[in-house]
Amino acid sequence: MIEIKNLTVDLGTFSLQDINLKIEPGEYFIVLGPTGSGKTILLESIAGLYPIKSGEIWLNGTEVTKVEPEKRGIGFVYQDYALFPHLSVKGNILFGLKQMKRPKGELQSTVDWIAGLLGVSHLLERKPETLSGGERQKVALARALSISPQVLLLDEPLSALDPQAREDVQHELREIHRRLETTIIHVTHDFEEAIALGDRIAVLGEGHILQIGTPEQIFRQPSSEFVARFAMARNIFSGEVHDAEEGDSILSIGDLELAVVTELRGKLHASLRPEDILISKEAVISSARNSLRGTITRIDNRGSTLYLTVSTPLDFVCLVTRRSFEELGLKAGEEVYITFKASAIHVF
Amino acid sequence: MRKMLRWVAARKLTITFFLLGLVILLFIFVPLLKMVFSSDPGILWDTLGEGEVRSAIWLTLYAALIATVVGLLLGVPLAYFLARHRFRGKRFVETLIDIPIVVPHSAAGIALLFVFGQNFFVGKAFNSVGIDFVSAVPGIVIAMLFVSVPFLINSAKNGFEKVDVRLEKVARTLGASPWQAFFRVSLPLAWRSIFSGSVMMWARGISEFGAVLILAYHPMVAPVMVYERFEEYGLDYARPVAVILILVCIVLFIALRSLAYRGEKA
């Protein structure tokens, strides 16, 4: 288990403040934040590679705040691998093992085992510069895991990879986590990656932890506009929530009134995910739903899916699959109806 | 004809620069070649037979080598420090390192004489442990060290700057102490730059004349011997020594450079 208490780190232009995290043994923990939010420095602080201003770091019940990085037993993988270019793959994996002064036979068997685990056995004699991105990242993982770390820190491990290698390494990460039950802290700016891998996610922004929760919670119930934007909710409004008849709630955004499900009242924010909006050419009659008429003002083609901006005149971003887009024969400038459940709107 | 003109017109810049470059290349090469090829091999051989000449050349090579070893021991740590730390006054320190390259070397020799001579505490301290600099090999070594160590420091610094700090950080997480990270990661990766810097430093030490002349006319290094023979007996007598010195330098330099280059390809 790893616990970070009131960590403050000075980053020159800004600082990470009062970071508190408690990561359970064997947990796959994601720190999600935009580029330049100090994610790498946060990991380096945990590993003892970056001087912290104040706070404490506890590893399995022992305070390690002042322990040197080589004595923490924390594995580290950087975004662009940071493999030792003068050593072969085997030399890279052996680096930490040699440092531990294990008997020779044990070294060989550990290298074989770890290389087999990550599927890099056939690369052992190669130099890092001859490897593909995916192979390099697997070697970097093998090297970090060779020392049987108490915690594995991953700094944007998938960001430098092309889509196919990314899927491959992502699968590898899940496998390692399942088989070795290593505690992992993985930082990324990619929301989908976070959702795909994380047991829990902490969103880092403006130097603070803004929200910690399961992927579902971050996805459905962002606690702030920042998190909602980061979770790609796309439709984020501010308005006022008040009572309607029969105990329902109404969210007023200017002249627009939307049915919402919430106990909250007053000036608030609301988010609505683009995939929760149904688009149609005819009005859909249903009391539990919000239905609005608007005009398609923008089409953002993403290949298998498309984002449509529908102006009601308030803009709503809706997600449609290519298939329904073609079946409905949608075009810019066309009048459509958008429909969504009251419960699809998350008020915060 | 027209085709050729068009060919020229399309390459005006390349051709102009090539011709200008050729002038400077010839300027470097012709005097060296002329001297080497217009010497009588028989006289060269006889000169090489003189014990005085051989010992001067040997002394030059070996004093410059000692200077380079001292440069490695003291200069490489400084180079690493400069490559890894940012601090106020760093620019100043870097300028300081380059100063030996820009001051007249005879003046540098005078300055060294002041510090390492018998009238200053540094000279006295060394004297008390039996090391004298004036008219002695240690004097030759420090003269060479002073004028040539900037080449090693700058080259090593560039080498260390190219080593990603994160490689050292990863090494630390893998159980390496700062010393082990340095010796297992940074040093091997910067080694090529350090080596080629050492070659430059050695070569520069061998060719040093001004500072050595001030500190130690005797024992006589080869460049001083060339000067002495020229002054006392004239051009014809100085030339064979000069030719031998140039040949030794060229051969060593090419050999070591190619060694450094081979390291680069491997």
Q: Rounded CA gap, B153 and B68, in Å?
A: 11
- Please tell me the distance from the alpha carbon of residue B177 to that of residue B185, in angstroms, as a whole number: 11
Chain B residues with CB within 8 Å of chain A CB: 164, 166-167, 169-177, 180, 184-185, 188-189
Which among B170, B180, B189 has CB closest to A78? B170
Q: From the centroid of its chain, how far is CA B264?
A: 20
Residues in chain B, pLDDT under 50: 266
Supply the angle between the helices B105-116 and B121-128 in degrees, to the nearest 10. 60
Tell me which residue in A70, A86, A144 faces B177 most closely, judged by beta carbons.
A70
- What is the least distance, in Å, from the CA of A230 to any CA of chain B? 28
- Between CA A99 and CA A93 the distance in angstroms is 11
Find, in chain A, the residue whose alpha carbon is nearest to that of B173.
Answer: A70
Which class is domain A2-227?
alpha beta
Same domain, B220 and B185: yes
Annotated domain spans of chain A: 2-227, 233-347
Look at residue A288 in the predicted model and tell me its pLDDT. Answer: 58
Give the DSSP H or E segment for B4. helix B2-10
Mutate to test the interface with A, among B86, B170, B187 (most CBs of A within 10 A): B170
Residue with tokens 């994380």: A198
Judge residue B84's burial from the number of C-beta atoms within 10 Å of its C-beta, 0-12 exposed, 13-18 middle, 19 or more buried: middle
ipTM: 0.83
Residue of chain A whose Cα is closest to the Cα of B266: A86
* Burial class for A246, CB neighbours closer than 10 Å (0-12, 13-18, 19+): exposed
Question: What are the angstrom distances between the C-alpha of B59 and each of B2, B43, B54, B205, B221?
Answer: 62, 22, 8, 11, 6
DSSP state of B186: I
Query: Nearest by CB to B175, which of A44, A78, A96?
Result: A96
B173–A143 CB contact, under 8 Å: no
* pLDDT of B266: 46
Residues B117 and B33 in one domain: no
- Of A99, A145, A147, A150, which to mutate for an interface test with B (greatest number of B Cβ within 10 Å)? A99
Q: Using CA coordinates, name the residue in chain A closest to B188.
A: A86
SS3 A325: helix
Answer yes or no: do A82 and B172 touch at CB < 8 A: no
At CB < 8 Å, which residues of chain A contact B? 44, 47-49, 68-72, 74-76, 78, 82, 84-86, 95-96, 99-100, 143-144, 146-147
SS3 content of chain A, % helix, strand, coil (to 5): 30, 35, 35
The answer to whether residues B136 and B158 belong to one domain is yes
* B173·A100 Cβ contact <8 A: no
pTM of the complete model: 0.85
CA distance B75 to chain A (A): 23
**Residues B20 and B46 placed together within one structural domain of the fold:** no
Identity of the residue numbered B10 = A
- Residues B126 and B66 placed together within one structural domain of the fold: yes
Beta strands in B100-255 (DSSP E): none
Coil, strand or helix at A348: coil
Tell me which residue range forms the domain holding B75: 40-265
Amino acid identity of residue A262, one-letter, is T
Is residue B33 located within the same domain as residue B67?
A: no
For residue A68, the chain B residues in CB contact (below 8 A) are: 172, 177
Can you list the pairs that B96-104 forms with residues at least 24 positions away whose Cβ atoms lie under 8 Å? B97/B150, B97/B153, B97/B154, B98/B150, B98/B154, B99/B150, B100/B146, B100/B147, B100/B148, B100/B149, B100/B150, B101/B147, B101/B150, B104/B210
- Judgement on whether residues B71 and B20 belong to the same structural domain of the protein: no
B118 & B27 share domain = no
pLDDT tens for chain A, 348 residues: list them. Answer: 899 999 999 988 889 999 999 999 999 999 999 988 889 999 999 999 999 999 999 999 999 999 999 999 999 999 999 999 999 999 999 999 998 888 888 899 999 999 999 999 999 999 999 999 999 999 999 999 999 999 999 999 999 899 899 999 999 999 999 999 999 999 999 988 998 999 999 999 888 999 999 998 988 888 988 898 888 888 888 899 988 877 788 898 888 888 888 888 889 889 999 999 999 888 877 665 788 899 999 999 998 999 999 998 899 999 999 999 999 888 889 999 999 988 889 988
- Check A82 against B164: CB less than 8 A apart: yes
- B111 and B19, same structural domain? no
Q: How wide is the angle at C-alpha A328 spanned by C-alphas A327 and A334, nearest 5°? A: 150
- How many structural domains is chain B composed of? 2
The half-sphere exposure of A146 on its side-chain side, counting CA atoms within 13 A, is 36
Same domain, B129 and B16: no
Are B18 and B77 in the same domain? no
Residues of chain B in contact with residue A75, where contact means CB-CB under 8 angstroms, are 173
Candidates 3.20.20.70, 3.40.50.11720, 2.60.40.10, 2.40.50.100; CATH matching A233-347: 2.40.50.100
Residue A287's pLDDT is 64
Record: contact B175-A70, CB cut-off 8 A: yes
Q: Are residues B16 and B55 in the same domain?
A: no
Residue recorded with tokens 């000036």: A267
